[in-house]
């Protein structure tokens, strides 16, 4: 199975280098960085990183797309493969620019997606540092993922291209674009959380405070859990087929 990593960016100058280093270390087949109009030099860092990727036999491309994480990730998923059509035997990994993948991440992804009953996966969530408050946040994320909507985008979601083509693309609300896709993918099969953590930048918790940021995340998760699942492209096609001829 081939692996493409899609990384949406917007003014991620300080985070992008470590993110790409971890991605390229796993030697995926292709990395697509999709910039939404950075003004801090993020896109320049991404383009310079092509040299590092090439030395490790990884193709890295940089695209521009309309601002918005969902639209950027959709653009990365739609982008033509560098060597033509890769077919459906492809896994998409959607990695936020402030997230660092664990060592051996490609092996984890391939092992999880080898089970045809699994339609979506992600990694455990970790914050840097030794703060006891952060450990509580991590436990809360684990519970939220298990009992509410599944993993969030900062846990590096991954799925097969074939399933993404059926239930995708990412819906484009201002926030929580990841939950809509995860719910649709879970309706088709299993969700697996890899027993290896991604390291997520803690700036949101530092800037907003641990309690406020955690409450914000949980409030959004609960609100989304009460919503009806969105209609997928497959549902629309099935409904159209079922309409009687007039």
pLDDT tens figures, 174-202: 566 788 899 899 999 999 999 999 999 99
pLDDT tens digits, 124-181: 999 998 899 999 999 988 987 777 668 989 999 999 999 999 998 998 765 667 888 9
Q: What DSSP state is assigned to residue 66?
A: -
pLDDT given for residue 85 in this prediction? 63
Mean pLDDT value of segment 4-26 = 98
The per-residue pLDDT for range 66-112, each reduced to its tens digit, is: 999 999 999 999 998 866 666 678 999 999 999 999 999 999 999 99
Given CA atoms 139, 146, 148, 203 in this order, what sign does their dihedral have?
Answer: positive
What pTM does this model have?
0.87
CATH architecture under which domain 2-239 falls: Alpha-Beta Complex (3.90)
User: In this structure, how many other beta carbons lie within 10 angstroms of the beta carbon of residue 143?
Assistant: 11
pLDDT at 233 over 90: no
Total number of residues shown for the chain: 246
Q: Give residue 226's pLDDT.
A: 64
Closest residue by Cα to residue 27 from 112, 105, 114: 105
Lowest mean pLDDT, pick from 19-33, 101-115, 121-135, 203-217: 203-217
**pLDDT score of 125:** 96
Beta-strand (E) ranges in 1-141? 2-9, 30-35, 59-64, 90-94, 99-100, 118-126
pLDDT at residue 244 greater than cutoff 50: no
| Dihedral over Cα of 54, 58, 63, 67: its sign | negative
* Tens digits of residue pLDDT in 51-67: 999 999 999 999 999 99
């Amino acid at each position: 199975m081939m692996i493409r990593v899609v990384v949406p960016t917007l003014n991620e100058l300080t985070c992008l280098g470590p993110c790409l280093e971890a991605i390229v270390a796993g030697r995926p087949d292709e990395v697509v960085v999709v910039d939404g109009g950075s003004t801090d030099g993020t896109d320049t860092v991404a383009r310079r990183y092509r040299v590092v990727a090439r030395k490790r036999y990884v193709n890295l491309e940089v695209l521009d797309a309309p601002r918005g994480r969902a639209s950027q990730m959709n653009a990365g998923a739609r982008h033509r493969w560098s060597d033509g059509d890769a077919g459906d035997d492809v896994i998409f990994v959607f990695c936020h620019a402030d997230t660092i993948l664990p060592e051996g991440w490609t092996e984890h992804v391939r092992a999880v997606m080898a089970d045809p009953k699994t339609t979506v996966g992600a990694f455990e969530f970790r914050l840097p540092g030794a703060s006891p408050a952060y450990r509580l946040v991590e436990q809360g994320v684990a519970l939220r993922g298990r009992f509410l909507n599944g993993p969030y985008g900062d846990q590096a979601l991954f799925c097969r291209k074939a399933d993404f083509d059926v239930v995708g693309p990412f819906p484009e609300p201002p926030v929580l674009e990841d939950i809509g896709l995860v719910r649709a993918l879970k309706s088709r099969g299993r969700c697996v959380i890899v027993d290896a953590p991604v390291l997520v930048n803690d700036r949101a918790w530092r800037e907003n405070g641990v309690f406020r940021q955690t409450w914000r995340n949980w409030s959004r998760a609960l609100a989304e859990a009460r919503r009806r699942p969105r209609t997928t492209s497959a549902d629309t096609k099935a409904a159209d087929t079922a309409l009687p001829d007039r």
